[in-house]
């Protein structure tokens, strides 16, 4: 039987591949996966997305600390450095992370020493998939991303604008709103950012 439209077969093949990738992602998630896709998403985007999901799920784990060490960045313990050494090391670390497409954010409430200590002891040791990030992707190390009560209060105090503060109280009227304060440090506007 002759094929009327070869593009139709390509579309069917793509739909099959996407369905197989979704089934594999569901299996890798132990059956606990929730997903939604817009019907307006072009099929080639959906295929690329699900391929990336599987690459991520099957990748070995590393940490940004290990990646920095492998790239030749010396990471001494914060308490072993003078303030000047620590500030220089912190910016070296931030710049090198940006080279890896990893960007640090929401840091103005911390001194250089507090930020370096946090990164060195916590954020840089979080497990991450060992995948290269390209110019259209990035990873954000949001210092307040833990969503603890302390993180939320810090965000509301230093970073939330009036609209966000009003919205928060509208949804959580029982919460106490901390008075707004300008952050004590001015670093975030100088941090490398993803252009994507």
pLDDT-derived band of residue 103, with 50, 70 and 90 as boundaries?
A: very high
Name residue 62's beta-bridge partners. Answer: 128
For the whole model, what pTM was predicted?
0.81
- CA dist., res. 87 & res. 141, Å (int): 18
What's the DSSP call for residue 63? Answer: E
Q: Are 92 and 116 in contact (CB under 8 A)?
A: no
- Cβ-defined contacts of 175-180 (< 8 Å, 24+): 178/153
Q: Are 43 and 15 in contact (CB under 8 A)?
A: yes
In the predicted model, what is the mean pLDDT of residues 135-141?
84
pLDDT at 2 over 60: no
Torsion of CA 84, 86, 87, 88, to 10 degrees: 90
Domain segments of the chain as ranges: 6-31+40-58, 60-196
pLDDT at 44 over 80: yes
pLDDT (0 to 100) of residue 1:
46
Could you tell me the sign of the dihedral formed by the alpha carbons of 9, 15, 17, 20, in that order? negative
């Amino acid at each position: 039987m002759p094929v009327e439209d070869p593009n139709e077969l390509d579309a069917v093949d793509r739909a099959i591949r996407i369905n197989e990738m979704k089934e594999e992602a569901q299996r890798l998630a132990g059956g606990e996966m929730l997903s939604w896709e817009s019907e307006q998403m072009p099929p080639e985007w959906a295929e690329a997305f699900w391929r990336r999901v599987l690459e991520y799920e099957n990748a070995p784990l590393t940490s940004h600390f290990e990646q920095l060490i492998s790239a030749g960045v010396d990471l001494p313990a914060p308490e072993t450095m003078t303030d000047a050494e620590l500030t220089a090391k912190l910016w070296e670390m931030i710049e090198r992370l940006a080279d890896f497409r990893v960007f640090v954010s929401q840091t103005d409430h911390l001194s250089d020493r507090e930020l370096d200590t946090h990164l060195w002891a916590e954020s840089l040791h979080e497990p991450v998939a060992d995948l290269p990030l390209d110019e259209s992707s990035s990873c954000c190390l949001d210092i307040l991303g833990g969503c603890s009560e302390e993180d939320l209060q810090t965000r509301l105090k230093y970073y939330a604008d009036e609209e966000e503060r009003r919205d928060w109280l509208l949804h959580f009227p029982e919460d106490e709103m901390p008075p707004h304060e300008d952050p004590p440090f001015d670093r975030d506007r100088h941090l490398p950012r993803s252009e994507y």
